[in-house]
Structure 1
């Protein structure tokens, strides 16, 4: 693995940074306050090829990898413009369709996911299953008229109100009577599909929803990758998801540190910039170190995904997500503290990041479940649940 980015990757960073800074944190705050979705930024990012940089060129993408897509989200977030649906639409859904979808599914969805003209949400979490995907009860029964009839409930599903379809993780019945995992593409205007917003203490352009699937009729070609979506197929999307959440967290941490250091250079007490005081400087320096360490693990995980080593990527992606979430929370907390009362004012834009940064410790998989994974898969300790 080469730690030096290519000239193309450096230029991509520069171009994304320029776009994000032309919008900035104030734009995102205003969009969220108005209940909007940052559509102008999303469309522009799609037009410039940033949203589909990881998707195949033959379907309108950039032909690069998750490394480049994570780079895009990191730079957007570092400028105060985190786009959560990048984690979902191109990273999870786009990757799964590119690897396992039929030619027709690829032609139908990938070009529009790449250019941002269509958005696909992703629904795996259920009220009674939580982190245990083996307890998923959303089921597609064979329709006597052909296709499937899908029933189930999902919770904490991002961006449904702005999506054209949802990739739903469910199950189908086998001839032997047991349930097999399956991935269904459900248009958001399908009869029987409804959603209800969940009120959150978050200032974000993406809202969370309860999703209800009541006798939703789907054609046979609504399934991605066949009736038995094994774990390899599912984690083809979930490994990139963890990497992209790490990228978002790292970017938020960078944004917070940049705001704090700028303030600490200018804010003078008794004739001395407060950044000269080690009591303030050292905690920020430690936070910067942890952000960089997390970024290295994120880059390793992305490199493993792009190299096709899914098994090693699973371990690295979980570690990257854990490390980035912890580093981001610490960076934001210390940045707010460094500004004192100003850290909680709208003017400096840091206080609203406290909840945003903390989300990545909880979703899409909690820090405790990642620790369980590492304890069992990396250390070989007995299963704890």
Structure 2
């Protein structure tokens, strides 16, 4: 399902990824596919690192290509959530701001799937207010090492990640204020502990709370410039929003495909139920809204890949908002179309009722996006 915004190369990539997803998903549900097997094959085909530089084994593309891959895998019923984190956030940040040694150490593995990196920003007492992050990093004057202390929560895939890119804060020697910085923390670093959060959501990727108790890191664990602050952070957060939109659009398309197939064949009276406007029109509306969200996602990706961080920030937030709303509506209407069958494991839709809400909540809530648009785009005053 290509669009007028796509080049022939992107259309070919979409078709190839769609075929891969359908091969792995088969007739199962989003909980049944072999995640490790799909991750490995997608990596071998170059899909996981399609956004990373060619000199490190990547495809030399951008977030436009990577979001397309995630969308198509989701539409086939086998989304890879860690694509949002490992190549999109961590890979992008290291490619843009990492040292030569960090690039050599991490990018080839992130591109070929042999290495995975998680991302830790959310904290129990900070929520959406990144200025309240309390994970702090201080230097050991005797060695030059960094010592990290703090907590993180709702961090995806830490158990399968080789390291976690942690957002901490250091003290500005001139002002005394804390400023955000990024650190690569290996999974086996002493003092770095994780505990799994018991989630109602059924997903391959587990959620964890992290505790950092004076985790000692070498000086070279710092990614980029200590004084770059929010510039480096948002270099990863904008791709995260675009990829979340792709995740939501793929999920919505998957649900809608199931509902359309059912509406075409389910017959209660003389005609299939899809011939009735009460069934057909809500599905058509859900399709329209998913397509509109995809256009905004493609705009956001194009702006980001062109280096327009400011424009990409606005568009990425809009895309994430639109995709989340469209996904929730598509899933709800699909389940409703199937009636009781929509709640059975056989059709694989019931679990999406919970999963679809994730895109509304993470990585930033729809209310905070509306705050951003009202303040930054419309110039309205803040209420906080």
Gaps in structure 2 of 5+ consecutive residues? none
Q: How does 1:282-361 map to 2 (within 5 A)?
A: 282-361=281-360
Q: Distance in 2 between matches of 1:301 and 1:147?
A: 38
Larger deviation: 311-320 or 231-240?
231-240
C-alpha contact 2:29 2:77 (8 A) present in aligned 1: no
Aligned to 1:71: 68
Give 1:174 deviation, angstroms: 2.6
Listed one character per residue, the Cα deviations across residues 222-281 of structure 1 (whole Å, up to 9, x for unaligned) are 000122242221111100000000001000010011000000000011121000000010
Indicate if the aligned counterparts of 2:30 and 2:348 stay in contact, CA closer than 8 A: no
Asked if 2 retains the 8 angstrom alpha-carbon contact of 1:268 and 1:274, the reply is yes
Q: How does 1:255-294 map to 2 (within 5 A)?
A: 255-294=254-293
Say yes or no: does 1:3 pair with 2:4.
yes
Matched residues, number = 379
Q: Displacement of 1:58 after TM fit?
A: 0.3
Alignment of 1:345-384 (within 5 A): 345-384=344-383
Structure 1 Cα separation of the partners of residues 45 and 204 of structure 2: 21
Question: Counterpart of 1:34?
Answer: none
Aligned 8 A contact 2:50 2:111 in 1: yes
Structure 2 residue matching 1:157: 3-state secondary structure: strand
Match of 1:135 in 2: 132
Give yes or no for contact 1:329–1:357 (8 Å, CA) kept in 2: yes
> Is 1:113 matched up with 2:147?
no
Task: Give 1:207's aligned residue.
Answer: 206
Distance in 2 of aligned mates of 1:265 and 1:98: 47
Gap runs ≥5 in structure 1: 32-36
1:160 aligns with 2:158: yes
Q: Which has the higher mean CA deviation after the structures are superposed, 8-17 or 239-248? A: 8-17
Structure 1 residues 306 and 57: CA distance shift in structure 2, 3 A = same
Instruction: Name the TM-score, length of structure 1 as normaliser.
Output: 0.97
1:175 Cα offset (Å)? 2.0
TM-score for both structures, normalised by structure 2: 0.97
Asked whether 1:102 is paired with 2:99, we answer yes
* Rounded Cα–Cα distance in structure 2 between residues aligned with 1:327 and 1:379: 23
